[in-house]
Structure 1
Amino acid sequence: MGVRAALYLDFDNVFGGLYKLDPDVAVQFANDPGAWLRRLLTTATTDGPRRWLLLRCYLNPAGWVYHTDTAGEQTRLFFSKFRPWFVRAGFDVIDCPRYSGTKNAADIRIVVDAVDALSADTRYDEFVIASGDSDMTPLLQRLRRSDRRTMIVSPADAAEAFTAIADQVLDSQQLLALVQGEPVDLNDEIDSEFDDRVVDVDTTAPGHREAYEAFRSVVTGEYNAASEPLNMASLASRLRSQLGQSVSDSNWFGFGSFARAVASLEFPNLRMSQHFLWDDSRHFAREPAAAAPQRIMLPEPVERLVDQLDLPRLPQPWWPAIYQTLSDYAHSHRFNLTQCTSWSRDQLRDQGLPVSRGAVAFVARGTSFGGCPLHRQPPPTAEEIRAAFVDNVLTRAEAAEIAFSSDEIATVRAWLSAESTAATSP
């Protein structure tokens, strides 16, 4: 039977949040909702795949964002353009025009419709709320009292009071992966050795064979020519650039991940860790990065941000390295946030800094919502990234009613900027 599920999508909230992070992925999300909707059937489920019994999209038809077209011109991209694609994917699209300068009625409509669904003849096992609007916290409380599972899908840093109630949260990094057809990593903090099982995949399926053979040719050449272990994130990035959309369309030719696709080539003496691949007869395995301290002592104001905003618990000297690495990526790559976080994590670990991908994503997300998106042109400097991220953290702290004195604000700024002040001594 599967899990009987209802999905309520606040389009303006989710699309707007995605657009700040990665405009190309946001447009992909809106142009092909059927693709990510199918993937969501089996993402983060506990009792089998979902069955979408109810799909609703709440959209402001007059909403728009500035978008750079193929000619490099900025034009208004109206949300109404995407309406047919959601209808085609099976959504009931409900118009929610603005009734004030910044708000539409989507959140109210979602609450009313979801509560109505609780009393419907059909029992919905799970309610998926695609929105980062914490105004819907009472709705989640109501759903929990009715013993229904809930999932939040949000590209923004939603309030903890909102996310804590949900059974499952799909954050920005996971949503980006879902839209792009990448495996959705539900626990980035755990580093495990590569699982070298090779699944039985038909690489001769339509659209797969030619791309797979091109993949084989490129990887074989890189593998045979390598004088040292190959960084998997960098190699995957180059392959995406060379092979184009076929990688995402086929989800690595049906294997589900870059590592599994490489393993399918069955190279002699191939060895893989989570971050490198190498020929065991020619290369020395890379030593793993030194483990982070079990408990990093933080100044008390920073400790509060870790507890209440999920600020990554990192040593003070690591922050500038993260800003610089993100800037390096923005200056050297066509922007893709999923690739950015993976590449940056691997670069940092090459420097001996075991920063998780989730921590990198936290900074990238804060930078974008702080007014300095990594995809902008010209690309931001490390200093611009730092300033935007720190300002965003403090803005979120104020919104969460975390009371800081002026000295405590100075301590937070100094810690996240790796400045030496008396106030920042752990």
Structure 2
Amino acid sequence: MTEIAEPVRESVRRLRCALFVDFDNVYLGLRRLDPAAAAAFAQEPGHWLASLETGTDADGDFARRFLIRACYLNPSAFSEFRPNFTRAGFTVVDCPSLTQQGKSSADINLVLDAVDALAAPTRYDEFVIVSADADFTPLALRCRAADRRVTIVTASPAASAYRSVADAVVTADQLVELVGTPEAEAPAATNGGAGTAGGTAKRQTAHAASPARRAVLRFVRAADRPAGGSTVAQAAMTADPSLRSDWAGAGSFSAWLARDVPEVATASNFVWDPKRFSEADLPVSGSVDLPPLQRQVVAVTDVPNLPTERYRVLLETLAAEIKAHAFDRAETTRRVRDACQAAGEPIGRGSVNTVVTGLLLAGLEPDKHPPAKAIATTWADNVVGLCRGARMDLSPADVAAIRAWVGGGLAKG
């Protein structure tokens, strides 16, 4: 007799949300980073909107209901995408250029509408701001002061002050994944053979449907670095309090992960997505004691905490890689990571990805096979720009020290 597993019932919080999209900022940022992702963002807003409708945090799973969906775009440049957002249920606000420099009125229109929403009779639990523009920091602060959850979605580096105000941040890399075609969640791996199909299949079904498994996968896949094991364990127990006793028979958190969530990797009390990170990305691996100026730059801009000689290896390896192979962001970062580690340098994929992303957003054209010095100069320019955007007070000597450091001694100027 075939046994049918009962559906898993779980309590899901429902958030009333207001969504505000700074189209020009996001589309242009994505286009520099990944043209295909930019096209998907503009042509299929309903797809990524549906992806945003569910999520998880330290308090468990939640579902968003977007009561306000507003998109602000420059019609003279992007009118072709207007019908796509209208079809997805957005109110599209035309924000034409008002100055000779091409500055549109998107930011002020967005802020005014958001402040109106804060004062509306309907209480919006969350404000989702889709823009990397740090000019929205005061708006985010205003929302937090009114005890509203704030999520920002960015397509390019956002100032640390802007990110720190938010309860959640969807980074550029996460947005690229969000607008792409979602991969079906893989079932839990098994060691059983054909003779164990009956009971094992039932257990696998239960594990795959586990709210704790889903919570861990969401948490780890959304993390911008390897996550602490205790934090991930707390997310699992919040989603399924019954795990607190003996981890569903596994005995420990690590054993439960190995059995029920084999897609993640673990070591040294950290958990991460092996598609994006490796052990070289762990805080305890490859970290260095930098001088005070460089430590401040790392803290403010989130650039990799690497010494000069490792930056040099990374940049020279990247130059050699894009000369030898056609550029593909995911594959290129993986091959550069592998080559650096083969050379004995503990440089993680997260560090490589940060540098490659910064270079693309700074305008580097990999298809033109720039030499290592040109790549280093572009990267150094980008880092100095991030520092100035964060309002760091830099002397000429500071700028020279930063350029020599992150440029691996290769950057011009």
Alignment correspondent of 1:166: 166
8 Å Cα contact 2:54-2:63 kept in structure 1? yes
Note if 1:296 corresponds to 2:288: yes
Q: Cα offset for 1:358?
A: 3.1
Note if 1:59 corresponds to 2:95: no
CA distance in 1, matches of 2:19, 2:105: 17
- Kindly report which structure 2 residues correspond to 1:134-145, keeping only aligned pairs within 5 A, or say none: 134-145=134-145
8 Å Cα contact 2:312-2:409 kept in structure 1? no
CA distance in 2, matches of 1:60, 1:185: 33
8 Å Cα contact 1:176-1:338 kept in structure 2? no
What TM-score, normalized by structure 1, do the two folds share? 0.67
Give the residue type in structure 1 aligned to 2:147: D
Please provide the CA RMSD for this pair: 3.1
CA distance in 1, matches of 2:281, 2:328: 28
Q: Cα offset for 1:4?
A: 1.2
Note if 1:125 corresponds to 2:125: yes
1:416 to 399, 406, 409: 406
Q: Cα offset for 1:159?
A: 1.4
CA distance in 2, matches of 1:28, 1:334: 22
Q: Cα offset for 1:347?
A: 4.2
8 Å Cα contact 1:2-1:47 kept in structure 2? no
CA distance in 1, matches of 2:375, 2:165: 32
Of 94-103 and 349-358, more deviation after overlay is shown by 349-358
Which SS does the other structure have where 2:409 is aligned? coil
8 Å Cα contact 2:37-2:179 kept in structure 1? yes
Alignment correspondent of 1:244: none
Q: Cα offset for 1:111?
A: 0.8
Which SS does the other structure have where 2:373 is aligned? helix
Q: Cα offset for 1:91?
A: 1.1
Alignment correspondent of 2:371: 381
CA distance in 1, matches of 2:328, 2:88: 25
Q: Cα offset for 1:381?
A: 3.1
CA distance in 2, matches of 1:34, 1:316: 44
- Kindly report which structure 2 residues correspond to 1:296-335, keeping only aligned pairs within 5 A, or say none: 296-331=288-323, 335=327
8 Å Cα contact 1:341-1:357 kept in structure 2? yes
Which SS does the other structure have where 1:317 is aligned? helix
Which SS does the other structure have where 2:54 is aligned? coil
Which SS does the other structure have where 2:388 is aligned? helix
Q: Cα offset for 1:10?
A: 0.4
Identical-residue share of aligned pairs (%): 40
Shift of the 176–332 alpha-carbon distance from structure 1 to 2, 3 Å rule, reads farther
Note if 1:358 corresponds to 2:370: no
8 Å Cα contact 1:17-1:155 kept in structure 2? yes
Q: Cα offset for 1:330?
A: 3.5
Q: Cα offset for 1:309?
A: 1.4
CA distance in 2, matches of 1:289, 1:127: 36
CA distance in 2, matches of 1:7, 1:187: 22
Give the residue type in structure 2 aligned to 1:91: F
Alignment correspondent of 2:31: 19
Give the residue type in structure 2 aligned to 1:147: D
Which SS does the other structure have where 2:62 is aligned? coil
Q: Deviations over 1:283-303 (max 9, x none)?
A: xxxx97697557512123212
CA distance in 2, matches of 1:30, 1:290: 33
Q: Cα offset for 1:154?
A: 0.9
- Kindly report which structure 2 residues correspond to 1:133-282, keeping only aligned pairs within 5 A, or say none: 133-180=133-180, 181=182, 185-190=221-226
Give the residue type in structure 1 aligned to 2:375: I
Q: Deviations over 1:280-336 (max 9, x none)?
A: xxxxxxx97697557512123212211221222113221123223433554455544
Note if 1:109 corresponds to 2:109: yes
CA distance in 1, matches of 2:227, 2:117: 40
CA distance in 2, matches of 1:329, 1:49: 42
Q: Cα offset for 1:361?
A: 2.6
**Greater helix share, 1 or 2?**
2
Shift of the 334–25 alpha-carbon distance from structure 1 to 2, 3 Å rule, reads farther
Q: Cα offset for 1:30?
A: 0.9
Shift of the 394–336 alpha-carbon distance from structure 1 to 2, 3 Å rule, reads same
Any gaps of 5 or more consecutive residues in structure 2? 1-12, 184-217, 230-260, 264-271
Which SS does the other structure have where 2:129 is aligned? strand
8 Å Cα contact 1:322-1:348 kept in structure 2? yes
Alignment correspondent of 1:9: 21
Shift of the 22–373 alpha-carbon distance from structure 1 to 2, 3 Å rule, reads farther
Q: Cα offset for 1:139?
A: 0.7
Any gaps of 5 or more consecutive residues in structure 1? 64-78, 194-256, 261-272, 277-286, 421-426
Q: Cα offset for 1:44?
A: 5.0
Alignment correspondent of 1:49: 63
Shift of the 354–178 alpha-carbon distance from structure 1 to 2, 3 Å rule, reads farther
